[in-house]
Amino acid sequence: MPAAGWGSSADSKEAKTLVPQRVKDVKDWRKQFRRRPSRHDVTTLVELGHQVEDLWTMALRRLTVAEQQTSRDIALWGRDEAPSHRQVVTREQVEQSLADPDGAYQRLRLVMDAWCALWFWPLTTRVAPPSWAEWIDACTML
């Protein structure tokens, strides 16, 4: 969901004096996200929410497995050493798995990074921030 703070760079006093037209453009852009979403958009957002939950479940499962595979037993004095039947995986293998751009973890991270970037949209660039439809489409594609 959009955040009320998106485009907060337009609230800067300095920006208003340096790039007044860009400040106006970003404020106008921000207004479109404060409107009530249509029924279709609500349905799409609910579906996206379910997909995000599924991706979080997969990412959590992968992180849990990674933790189990990389943990090591430490011998303690006075405690019997139990034989370990776990498969040992290196940190590099875990990092490589988590770095997969098509994996759940990286897909979620990309959407979260994009969401955060919209808070501080640069006022000095000619690139316009995404429209409501573009934002939903981007999230759906990821």
pLDDT digits (tens, 9 = 90+) for 110-139: 999 998 988 888 888 888 888 888 988 998
- Tell me, yes or no, whether 119 lies in a domain: yes
- Tell me, yes or no, whether 81 lies in a domain: no
Amino acid identity of residue 95, one-letter, is E
Position 84 pLDDT exceeds 70: no
- Tell me, yes or no, whether 2 lies in a domain: no
- Tell me, yes or no, whether 18 lies in a domain: yes
Domain that holds residue 121: 8-70+88-141
Looking at the structure of the chain, the number of domains it has is: 1
- Tell me, yes or no, whether 3 lies in a domain: no
Query: What letter would DSSP give residue 83?
Result: P
CA angle, 4 as apex, 3 and 10 as ends, to 5°? 115
Position 30 pLDDT exceeds 80: yes
- Tell me, yes or no, whether 42 lies in a domain: yes
Q: Among all chains, which residue has been given the structure tokens 């106006």?
A: 24
pTM beyond 0.85: no
- Tell me, yes or no, whether 35 lies in a domain: yes
Which is higher by pLDDT, 5 or 45? Answer: 45
